[in-house]
Structures are given as structure tokens and as C-alpha cells.
Structure 1
Amino acid sequence: MAPEPQFNGWLGLDANSAKGNLTWGPYTPKPFTESEIDIQITHCGVCGSDIHTLRSGWGATDYPCVVGHEIIGTAIRVGSQAAKERGIAVGDRVGVGAQSGSCLKADCEYCSDGDEVACPHMVGTYNGKFEDGSKSYGGYADYSRTPGHFVVKIPEGLESADAAPMMCGGVTVFAPLKRNGCGTTAKRVGIVGVGGLGHFGLLFAKALGAEKVVAISRTTGKKADAEKMGATGFIATQDEDWVQNNAGTLDLIISTVSSPDMPLSGYLALLAPKGQFIQVGAPEDVLPPIHAFSLIRNSIKIGGSLIGTPKDIEDMLELVVEKKVKPWVQKIPMKEANKAIVEFEEGVPRYRFCLVNEENVKKLGA
């Protein structure tokens, strides 16, 4: 039996931790069972969810909390059931996204249909509670202990620092793009926001075959970057006639922004009849009100999407390798996690931060 790893990570002890006040220290993971996989972490992406959770922005956080749900590392201990289900062996490079648990029961209409995200017993990779009452802890750490069902193999030809931000940020936009017909029934796609999520949206819309990919942002400041990511058009909402000049020109819009002040009615006006608007950004306040006829007049559908399933992640990684999708990632030593979360909140990343556990990279030769 492999020795028990020493679980240490960057602990958020209260809401003030979101201001760059994480503390490195030990924590107790869930008990190891034959369904678990222990991962020696080499990389972990920085996600907006980390900041929201650290400051209790989406509700009360159960402190202490180790955030980080864009985890890449090496499997160092694999339970027999996990090995059988996932085909993962000690030494494999693996990843974990934002979900680390669900009921997985045969009579669950969601888990049995491969839609684990919708399970009422969904457990987040951090700030969650497993069925046995133990807490879930994330990837700003040396090790992760995760139920094997939610661990995926990382394919060859993909750098770990690029793969990490895809585990949540990437699949959060990939899943609704694919599910809502990007490149097939939805040829004209708009992405609201050119940030961490939005940049993935542009990359994946192009990779999935959309004929028209439009970046939608407040100003033209990121227009050149958006075009390099695959945008064929750009809408700046600070322009006076942005709605009138672009009304009815899109089949699908994915909104990645987290501002409660977004011009939602204007976004809906950009959709052609029977168009779809999917919100994935999660403001800490309510969305703006809309007039019913914004939906009724052209049979517009509005909805949301939460992360992605293990199968979604695998499909995304397959597309990334096939189409040679290259995200824009900046690497930061994990020992500088406090600096990373402060700069993330200040809007510094272009367009995702990835923490690198340099000691583990050296130990593993990863």
C-alpha cells in the first residue's frame, strides 16, 4: 500500500483570504476508499469561482477552505474500483474539474444518464460535503484525494499548464456550445466577455466549426486578441448603435460575464428568431430585468449551464488535441498563490492563470 501523503494547501480561513491572505497549512481529506484516487498536484488553474468562494460571495463558505478546481497531476494511489471504472493506473497524468461527487446510483435519473452535474447530491471539488460527512478540498495544494469517477486521463500532446484551466473554465463554455449546436444548427455564435471564460468560448466556437464567431465586449480594447482567438466579428457595447447595427444576426450567445449590470435586453436583441442565450457567468447579485416580449417576439430561449460532466471534459480534450487548440495561459509558482488571486481579481490575466507546484514538478519530472 502506498504511504499516506501529507496533505497541505493554501487555506482560506475567512472572507478576508480573498484579498491575498491565504495561509499554507495541513488539512484532513476524505478517507481513502477503493473508489478514490490520490493525485500529486503539479498544476492548478485559478478560476473566478475561487475568489467568489473565498469571500463567501455565493453564500457562506465552510472555512477553512482550499480552493482550486482545475487540477492536473500524477496518480500516485489508485483504488481498485477506481482503476476498474476509469482505467487509470499509478503514474498516469490525470485531471479533476469542478465536480468531485454525486450519488452515482443506478436509479438516479441524472447520474444514470451521464448528467452527473444535475444530480441533487452533486459535490464540488472544494467547499463541499461528501456522503460520509467529510469536506472536499481543492487544488491549491500538494495532493488531491478525489473519487475516481470524476478523474480523467490527460491525453498526450497537451501541456499540463494548458490542460489545467480547461478542467473548469474550458468545459464551462465547451459544454453549452456543443449541447446547443455550435457549428451544426448554430452557425453564428456570439461570446459575451473576452476574459478567461470568453477566450475559451472563442477558441472552442471556432474549433467546433461555427461559421461566424462574434466577440461581444464593452470596449474594443481586446478586439485584436479576440481576432487571434478566432473571432470573425466584434461588437463593442459602448458604441451607441450596437444593438440596431447587429440585431438578429446570431443563432447562439454564450454569456461569460458576471456583472449584474449587463445589458441583457440588448444581448437578446442580437439573436435571430429561435435563437438561444445561455448564461454561464455567475454574478453575486440578480440579473437585470427583461421585457417578456424580448423572448416572445422571436421565440427566444434563455437558459444556463453549469460546468461539464467527466464525459464533456473528455470530449473537450479530444477536440483540443485534434484541432490543436492553444489557450492563452500565464504560469505562476504555486508559492505565489496570494499574489495570483489578487492579480486575478484586478483583471491582470491574459487570459488564464495557472499555478505551478514547482516542487512536485521537480519530484515527478513532469
Structure 2
Amino acid sequence: MPYPEEFTGIGVISTDSWRTPQRVTYPAKSFDPRDIDIQIDACGVCGSDLHTVQGHWRPIRDKMVVGHEIVGTVVAVGSQCNSGFKIGDRVGVGAQVLSCLECERCEEGNEPYCAKFVSCYNRPYDDGYVSQGGYASHVRVHEHFVIPIPESIPSELAAPLLCGGITVYSPLRRNGCGTGKRVGIVGIGGLGHMAVLFAKAMGAEVWAFSRRNNKREDALNLGADHYIATSETPGWDSELKSKLDLVLVCASSLSDIELDKYVSSMRVGGKIISVCIPEKHEKLSLSAFGLAGVHVSNSALGSPEEIRELLALVAEKGIKIWVETLPVGESGVSEALQRLDKGDVRYRFTLVDFDKEFPRD
């Protein structure tokens, strides 16, 4: 059956075979009046994709297609769409594709915290259809979660902003990052390198934290004002006592993070925000002593409006995140997932050449 009844993607058949993804065909979800169809041109590779195909969070469906940093071209617009998108527009889709759009949280711009949150892949809609992601020919999404991409941002650089980028921008924005603020970024990787770029662009004085010194040069080149190798700098927390306004934890695991030392580095009213979503068995280790006056919490995705703000900031400041491109396809997706599993990327992958893997009419 031709488009739009079926889409084609690069899927994982089971968690045991995540290293050998296969080309799959699957039914598209029903086309609702406010849906938009997007022919995909690029898709970022996120740590969440790896956690999902490895089964770290929840079981996956057969023929699971992941990918939630999508950039593409509008090819169909629902009859009741009122957001102004038209065929041929370049747009993006992040990690959320639906919410109720009616509750208090949605009305206040907190769609990612809606009880009816539907993620881009591996989540059921009300009718039972399980969402499929962006390592594919097309994606079908409610117009509210479709984002226009500024002309000045290349697709391969725009894609990672739609999940990884907004995941760090939202807590920076919501917790006062800006001129005169002292901000720490813990973990200089796929998320953390973007957080350094954004925090600096927002006017903050930035401390980059990593366990070893091997990322010092990268962090400083990204714009960090200071770098601390926590496992190689005894007493680093004493030197920073009561100095930081905001710390954003971007590490992939919480097991090796000595949060008590960051607590002592916070000013009264300071905030430690984690965007880490590790394997579900991990526990947060934190002493109650010293927490007086310090807020500790975590953050989910950002809203569609915040994604638009981030893209505007990136376009205005000419921010260039660090991206390596790979061709989409069975071998390209396999390489991306396996190298991501080994930490062999500086610092994001974007899959490209969709027109070659999924020929257009």
C-alpha cells in the first residue's frame, strides 16, 4: 500500500537485536483533521533512542522505529489545521506529538507534563495505535507539535535541538540563567555541550564539570569560562562553596555524581536541576544535611513555544552545536546506535540522506 496508508522506516525487531536494525513497513496512524504529514529529511540520534531499543525503560513493540529529532517537509495538511503551515514548509518535530491541549498544564505552556502526553515513539494513542518515530520516510503529527525551522539553521544542526537542545534549554530558561548568573553544567556530552553553548549565549558565567580532564579543551572551545575535572581535583567543592546560582546535571548516569558536593557549591536559593533519565534501576544519592535553601529537582522536555524560542536564539546568535552526520539506513542506524553505546561521538549524530534511502515520487 503506498503512502499515506503505510510508512517505511529503519526499525528494531526486538531488544536482543538492537545492533541489527532492519528496514520495515508499518501502517500510518489515522489522519486526523489537525494532523500534518512530514516527509523526513534529517533525524537526530538521541540517548533516549538507545535506552528505548535496549529496553531500559519499558518493553518495545515489534518493528519499533525510534527517532524524535525530526526535520522535514510538509506534504499534507489536515482540513481543520489553523497554524498556517503549508505544503513545502520546512518544519521540525521533537519528542512529544500529542497532549490533551485542554488541561491547566497545557494551557500554561507545560504540555510535556500533561497526563495525556504521547511521545514521538513507543507510546499508545487513545485508539491503541503505538507511535513510531523519525528513522523513517514520514511522520504524522498534530499541528500543535510541529515547529517551523528558521532558514539560517541547517537541517542537520536543527534536528538535535528538537529534543536534546530543548531538554537543556527549558530548565536553563525556567530557572533564571542569564546575565550575571553563575551556572554549572555537569557532564559534557550530547546534552551538556549544548547546555554550555546555550548558557553562555544567555549571558551566564559558565562552569563545566566532567570527571576527567579529557574534555577540558572542548569545554573551553564551547565557551565555558571554567572547567573542573571532579575526580582529578581534590577539594574542588571547597573552592566553589556558596558560589553557583544554578547547576544543570546532564550526565547520562547519576551513579557517579556526588550531588552533596554540588549542594555545598550553591548559593542560598540556588537550584540543582537534573535532565538525566538513566536506567530505571538507578537511585539518587543525596544527604538531607546542607539542603537548606537549595532546590533539587528534575526537568522534562520543553514546550513547543520554548522550542521556538530556542531556535530563535540559535539563529540570532549563530550557535553551532557539534554534529556528525551518518546516512540513514540499516548500516547507518546500526553504526549510530553502537557508537552512541560506546560514547564514540562528539557530540551528536544526525541521520541524513533520507531521499536516498526512501526515494521520493
Normalised by the length of structure 2, the TM-score is: 0.94
1:72 maps to 2:79:
no
Q: 1:290 aligns with which of 278, 286, 292?
A: 286
CA spacing shift, 1:294–1:287, aligned 2, 3 Å? farther
Q: CA deviation at 1:361?
A: 9.4
Q: Distance in 1 between matches of 2:50 and 2:354?
A: 23
CA spacing shift, 1:169–1:337, aligned 2, 3 Å? same
Q: Secondary structure at the match of 1:25?
A: strand
1:44 paired residue number: 43
1:55 maps to 2:51:
no
Q: Distance in 1 between matches of 2:63 and 2:346?
A: 30
Q: CA deviation at 1:360?
A: 5.6
CA spacing shift, 1:10–1:3, aligned 2, 3 Å? closer
Q: Distance in 2 between matches of 1:3 and 1:218?
A: 49
1:93 paired residue number: 90
Q: Provide Cα deviations, 1:273-317, integer angstroms capped at 9, x if missing partner.
A: 211000001111333321112312xx0000111011110100100
Q: Secondary structure at the match of 1:268?
A: helix
Q: Provide Cα deviations, 1:49-98, integer angstroms capped at 9, x if missing partner.
A: 0011111101222333110000000011111323x1x2110000000000
2:100 paired residue number: 103
Q: Provide Cα deviations, 1:167-194, integer angstroms capped at 9, x if missing partner.
A: 000000000000001005x700000000
Q: Distance in 2 between matches of 1:180 and 1:361?
A: 42
CA contact (8 A) 1:5 1:143 kept: no
Give the residue type in structure 1 aligned to 2:105. Y
1:199 paired residue number: 193
Give the residue type in structure 2 aligned to 1:346. K
1:235 paired residue number: 228
Q: Secondary structure at the match of 2:134?
A: coil
How many corresponding residue pairs? 355
Q: Distance in 1 between matches of 2:251 and 2:352?
A: 26
CA contact (8 A) 1:42 1:360 kept: no
CA contact (8 A) 1:41 1:360 kept: no
Give the residue type in structure 2 aligned to 1:215. A
2:128 paired residue number: 133
Name the stretch that deviates more: 329-338 or 258-267. 258-267
1:113 maps to 2:108:
yes
Q: Secondary structure at the match of 1:221?
A: helix
CA contact (8 A) 2:5 2:28 kept: no
Name the stretch that deviates more: 31-40 or 239-248. 239-248
Give the residue type in structure 2 aligned to 1:226. A
Q: CA deviation at 1:3?
A: 5.7
Q: Provide Cα deviations, 1:309-359, integer angstroms capped at 9, x if missing partner.
A: 110100100111111111000000002111110001111111100000342
Give the residue type in structure 2 aligned to 1:70. E
2:169 paired residue number: 174
Q: Distance in 1 between matches of 2:157 and 2:69?
A: 10
Give the residue type in structure 2 aligned to 1:61. I
Q: Secondary structure at the match of 2:213?
A: coil
Q: Distance in 1 between matches of 2:328 and 2:357?
A: 11
1:256-271 superposed matches below 5 A: 256-261=250-255, 262-271=257-266
1:314 paired residue number: 308
CA contact (8 A) 2:6 2:27 kept: no
CA contact (8 A) 2:254 2:276 kept: no
| Percent identity for Structure 1 against Structure 2 | 44
1:353 paired residue number: 349
Normalised by the length of structure 1, the TM-score is: 0.93
Q: Distance in 1 between matches of 2:290 and 2:140?
A: 46
Q: Secondary structure at the match of 1:313?
A: helix
Give the residue type in structure 1 aligned to 2:47. G
CA contact (8 A) 2:6 2:28 kept: no
CA contact (8 A) 2:9 2:23 kept: yes
2:318 paired residue number: 324
Q: CA deviation at 1:142?
A: 1.0
Name the stretch that deviates more: 59-68 or 170-179. 59-68
- 5+ long unaligned stretches in structure 1: none
1:9 maps to 2:2:
no
CA contact (8 A) 2:8 2:358 kept: no
Give the residue type in structure 2 aligned to 1:230. G
Q: Secondary structure at the match of 1:137?
A: coil
Q: Distance in 1 between matches of 2:30 and 2:238?
A: 58
Q: Secondary structure at the match of 1:7?
A: strand
Q: Distance in 2 between matches of 1:53 and 1:100?
A: 17
Q: Secondary structure at the match of 1:294?
A: coil
C-alpha RMSD over aligned residues? 1.8
Q: Secondary structure at the match of 1:161?
A: helix
CA contact (8 A) 1:197 1:256 kept: yes
